[in-house]
Amino acid sequence: MAFKRSSPLPGFGLTFGYTVTYLALLVLIPMGALSLRVATHMTWAEFWKLATADIAVATYRLTFGASLAAALLNAVFGTLLAWVLARYEFTGRRVLDALVDFPFALPTAVAGLTLADLFSGNGWLGRFLMPLGIKVAYTWLGIVVALTFVGLPFVVRTLQPVLENLDRETEEAAATLGAGRLRTFFSVIVPTLTPALLTGFALSFARAIGEYGSVIFISSNKVFEGQITPLLIVHRLEEYDYTGAMALAVVMLVFSFTLLIGINALERWASRFQD
């Protein structure tokens, strides 16, 4: 069996070679360097001790907990936004549609800066929430807010095309057969949407796990309390503790790869539903 199926088009060798070389220089070699460094500079026991230290586990708990909460919020509100954008005509629909991509386009540092200010004591939202006893800025909740902002487009943009392509006729058939509005929703629409929704959820979760820029503005950044894993890596680097930083980075890489494999599987599953 040949490596490549024959094609009349020219340029495969050149473009394929360039692509692989570029990827090797930019991704594979740096990633290999990190892994090699960890493998040669510490024993498994040392690595395990660094990766499971109390301070590290506290950051995993915060990073995962807040990312999960944000991804769940995004699943709910993202579905709502996608539904409204795909199904309804109303004034401002186009503006809303364009705005959904705003978190993609806005640098994360700016997002963190403005969200922290909005929810601070004299910010536009904080001044109403603080008297009610709801503290957002510099708490766990603030991290969730920042991660929700950053991950919102993923759910909307994964669901929207599926909703737009959803066969109206199937719904109408269900309705003709006597299914009520809720029953149609749960037995016709929900099963079709589930794979796409899971994909969007996983994408937004993965994005939140690695997020750094927006969180450090709105978090208290206190050790054991408001410190996310990427921030602990940065602190380790600032202390010239390269081994500590690399051990944590490898843990994060393992998480990322696991999620990436999961997302790929989900996307393949979701595309089966599309046809």
Partner 1 sequence: MVKWTLITIALLFAGTFLVLPLANVFYQALSKGFGSYFRALVEPDTLASIRLTLLVAGISVPLNCFFGVVAAWAVAKFDFKGKALLLTLIDLPFSVSPVVAGLMFVVLFGLQGYLGEWLDAHDMKIIFNVPGIVLATLFITFPFVARELIPLMQAQGSDQEQAALTLGANGLQTFWYVTLPSVKWGLLYGVILCNARAMGEFGAVAVVSGRVSGLSETMPLRVEKLYNEYNAAAAFGVASLLALLALLTLGVKTWLEHRQSLEMERSQEVEEPSTVSHPL
**Which residues between 179 and 238 bind partner 1 (CB under 8 A)?**
181, 206-207, 209-213, 216-217, 229-231, 233-234, 237
Q: Given the complex with partner 1, which of 58 and 259 has the nearer CB atom?
A: 259
Q: How far is the CB of 95 from partner 1 (least distance, A)?
A: 9
Print the binding letters for residues 77-116 with partner 1: x by CB under 8 A, - otherwise: x--xx-xxx--x-x-x-x-x-xxxxxxxxxxxxxx-xxx-
Do 220 and 136 touch, CB atoms closer than 8 A? no
- Rounded CA-CA distance 149/119 in Å is 14
User: Which single residue is written with the structure tokens 């094609």?
Assistant: 7
Rule CB under 8 A: say whether 60 interacts with partner 1: no
Of positions 59, 67, 148, 158, contacts partner 1 by CB under 8 A: 148
Q: How far is the CB of 26 from partner 1 (least distance, A)?
A: 5
Q: Given the complex with partner 1, which of 57 and 76 has the nearer CB atom?
A: 76
**Torsion, CA 243, CA 238, CA 219, CA 70, rounded to 10:** -40
Measured CA to CA in angstroms, residue 173 lies from 37, 50, 161, 164, 166 at distances of: 61, 59, 21, 18, 13
What token pair was written down for 260? Answer: 């990436």
Q: How many CB atoms lie within 10 A of CB 22?
A: 10
Print the binding letters for residues 1-40 with partner 1: x by CB under 8 A, - otherwise: --xxx-xxxxxx--xx-xxx-xx--xxxxxx-xx--x---
